[in-house]
A and B are shown apart, each in its own frame.
Chain A
């Protein structure tokens, strides 16, 4: 049924910290890897080893330059921006679907595609302003982020691993997963603390995912790197063997 379920108190989603994302694409790669083999896989590419490899990615990491005017002059801020499904509260991608393949789960708000029902009309991809949906040329059906629904409830995994693959893979902890419907959850507190924002709210689809903006730079435009500090070694505090090693190597 593509009519939206009544709003659930539980709103699972991601919080992405643009301040510390380093643009390493680990989340995108981990996502592709998990979903190629997980319950919803495979995610086959067209021409994977040829001249123009292409295929579906649920998560794509853009890099932007933000030109800033500061009292000290112009400078550019580099922002890495992972883009994936925002699991909107009132998503148009669900209501436009003619078959009922595109649906929003009533219990936790995850937006999914039932691949057995999808006819590949692509109207949902047209209806999404965030580019969250891509059709698989190989499978002929619409693909999208599942919020790793096959991980987060997977009781064969350790409890600590029941998180989306992208969150698990992030080396800087720039991605957080949790219930954004619960004001006391760690992710909700993070959003409140850091003024997390929703993308293009004017469309009225009420994205659940939030982005944390880059923190203000403390040093204005004086972006010259701090002088490298001389490393000091307190030889007296070293254990005997290392003190000897230090003496030998210092000759």
Chain B
């Protein structure tokens, strides 16, 4: 399949954003008031709460921007972007429609949380946030909704691809697992970079680094197994596609047209197969080693290392996603014998 830049951007950026929202949701569900506080007023809370990631407004809004940018990128893939709203109607049968709805619904708790954070910031810690309705009920509920929404949206995105029987590489449960895990991985890298830099937060960053490495290991293991199964999948032969395999070995003699067409351009992408080994190694290395290097380097140079890890890991995700599309073979290519 042709690796379209808009879809790669969409799945990588919104994946990181949703991973971050998932973590933020959990943090807020367990420690709702962290959102309403900055360092100066944290003393009003007992104990060492608020050591959780992504509970400050800036990082929350940055994750918001990642999700929104990703979704806008996905619109660039459409032939008629202005009609995108129509995609919300067929949730009964279409994973793409479900994803659109999940994405929009997730914006509801995300926007409400962002608004709360904003109001708290502008009105300088109003007392209403500390009222039981907000601190015990509304904020935790919004956090849970945000995490669930992020999870469901990424699950739907992955199912758009894994539900396609025509692309054997994608029609695989590992695809859904990899999408979910890699989104979490991206979110963790983002959260690590966002962990505030005063000394009280240092331990959080280290802990997040270790968790990121622990998530990166199953990520690369899944991708390794995915690539292994990709290599062993038999291709659909031309004879089978035409239905004449019993008559003999069938090969194309003449193509229907002298020029390339939509099908051969969209589904007959071959560049990746030529360089797949190297690119797989690059993706594997970047995803696995970025958080490890970030952690080790962090001991020496501090917070900047986690930004380095985020950059490296994101690059790894881009290479991984590019390969995901570029290496996948579509059934129709059998008719062209490619």
Chain B associates with chain A: yes
Which residues of A pack against B, CB within 8 Å?
1-4, 18, 23, 25, 28, 52-54, 56-57, 60-69, 77-79, 81, 83, 92, 94-101, 117-123, 125-131, 134-137, 139-142, 197-200, 203-204, 211, 213-214
Distance of A106 from chain B, by nearest CB (Å): 15
Interface string of B221-246 (1 = CB under 8 A from A): 00000000000000010111111100
> Counting CB contacts under 8 A, is B296 at the interface?
no
B44 on the A face (CB < 8 A) = no
Task: Tell which of A57, A63, A131, A141 has the most Cβ of chain B within 10 Å.
Answer: A131
Q: Are B244 and A57 in contact (CB under 8 A)?
A: no
The reply to whether B247 and A200 form a contact with Cβ atoms under 8 Å apart is no
Give the residues in chain A near B80, CB-CB below 8 Å: 118-120, 140-141
The distance in angstroms between the C-alpha atoms of A134 and B332, with both chains bound, is 12
Residue of B nearest to A201 (CB): B243
Which residues of chain B in 310-338 are interfacial with respect to chain A, using CB atoms and an 8 Å cutoff? 330-332, 335-336
Is there an interface contact between A3 and B92, defined as CB atoms closer than 8 Å? yes
Among B81, B88, B93, B249, chain A packs the most CB atoms within 10 A around the CB of B93
Nearest-neighbor residue (CB-CB) of B252 within chain A: A64
- Known contacts A53-B259, A54-B260, A79-B242: does B166 contact A127 (CB below 8 Å)? yes
Min distance, Cβ A227 to any Cβ of chain B, angstroms: 28
Tell me if B261 and A134 are in contact (CB < 8 A): yes
Measured in the bound complex, the distance between the Cα atoms of B117 and A59 in whole Å is 57
Asked whether, in the complex, the Cβ of B261 is within 8 Å of the Cβ of A57, the reply is: yes
Interface residue B277 (Cβ < 8 Å from any Cβ of A): no
B-chain residues with CB within 8 Å of residue A142 when the two chains form the complex: 79
The verdict on A98 contacting B255 (CB below 8 Å), with A66-B247, A203-B165 known, is no
Interface residues of B in 68-99 (CB under 8 A from A): 77-81, 83-84, 86-90, 92-97
B residues within 8 A CB of A136? 79
Residue of A23, A94, A135, A197 near B262 (CB, 8 A) is A135
Q: Chain A residues with Cβ under 8 A from B94's Cβ?
A: 2, 95-98, 123
Given A3-B93, A54-B259, A126-B166: A64 and B79 interface contact (C-beta under 8 Å): no
Judged by DSSP, the binding face of A is loop
Chain B: CB-nearest residue to A118: B80
Residue B250, interface by CB 8 Å: yes
Q: A62-B256, A134-B263, A203-B166 are in contact. Are A129 and B247 (CB under 8 A)?
A: no
Q: How far is the CA of A25 from the CA of B255 in the complex (A)?
A: 12
> In the complex, A65→B81 CA distance in Å?
43
- Residues of chain A contacted by B95 (CB below 8 angstroms): 96
**B160 at interface (Cβ–Cβ under 8 A)?**
yes
Query: Are A65's CB and B78's CB within 8 A?
Result: no
* Closest B residue, CB atoms, query A66: B248
Contact B332 A119 (CB under 8 A): no
Asked whether, in the complex, the Cβ of B84 is within 8 Å of the Cβ of A92, the reply is: no
Contact B247 A119 (CB under 8 A): no
Tell whether, in the assembled complex, residue B163 and residue A54 are in contact, meaning their CB atoms are under 8 Å apart: no
Complex contact A66–B239 (CB within 8 A): yes
A127 touches B252 (CB 8 A): no
Knowing A62-B254, A121-B77, say if A126 contacts B330 (CB, 8 Å): yes
Which chain B residues border A203 with CB–CB below 8 Å?
A: 165-166, 331
The answer for the CA separation of A28 and B77 in the assembled complex, in Å, is 29
Instruction: For A131, give its contact among B86, B236, B252, B263 (CB under 8 Å).
Output: B263
